[in-house]
Structure 1
């Protein structure tokens, strides 16, 4: 787990319902990801949380057997909510 909070956008092929669910399941299993958004039409997956970006991309690649391309990576000041 990283001490930095990131927002990352990746491009992945989301061809069918099975692909969508495979990606979603893989994201839900990663506990350091706080939020995710899967945009089917744009073929994009956005995640945010305190994680190591390369590790998330590698895990997603291995679990889904899909090519992962990091489009955007932003480091954000994380505000702890009560």
Structure 2
């Protein structure tokens, strides 16, 4: 049996314009591993939440967006009952 853990990951991606922001949002919405995301255009930051491998998701985003992606922070999301 495999333990499923929810992760929160913060990425830095250079977001120059509204078109870049739209393209990143469309790419994130198509990724089935991600449950939720938040894009902060002013700080060039993208936060994602879901069940995934952080390095794998960063590589997928980098290939699709064709921009440099830096992993800033990864945290395990703890649920309280």
TM normalised by structure 2 equals: 0.89
What is the distance in 2 between the residues matched to 1:33 and 1:78? Answer: 17
What is the distance in 2 between the residues matched to 1:21 and 1:79? Answer: 34
Match status 1:21 vs 2:22: yes
Counterpart of 1:42 in structure 2 is 43
TM normalised by structure 1 equals: 0.88
Q: Over residues 10-68 of structure 1, what are the superposed CA-to-partner deviations in whole Å (9 max), with x where a residue is unaligned? A: 00000011110111011001011011000000100000001111111001000000100
Aligned-residue Cα RMSD (Å) equals: 1.6
Q: Which structure 1 residue ranges, 4+ long, deviate > 4 Å from structure 2? A: none
Partner SS for 1:15: coil
> How many residue pairs align between the two structures?
79
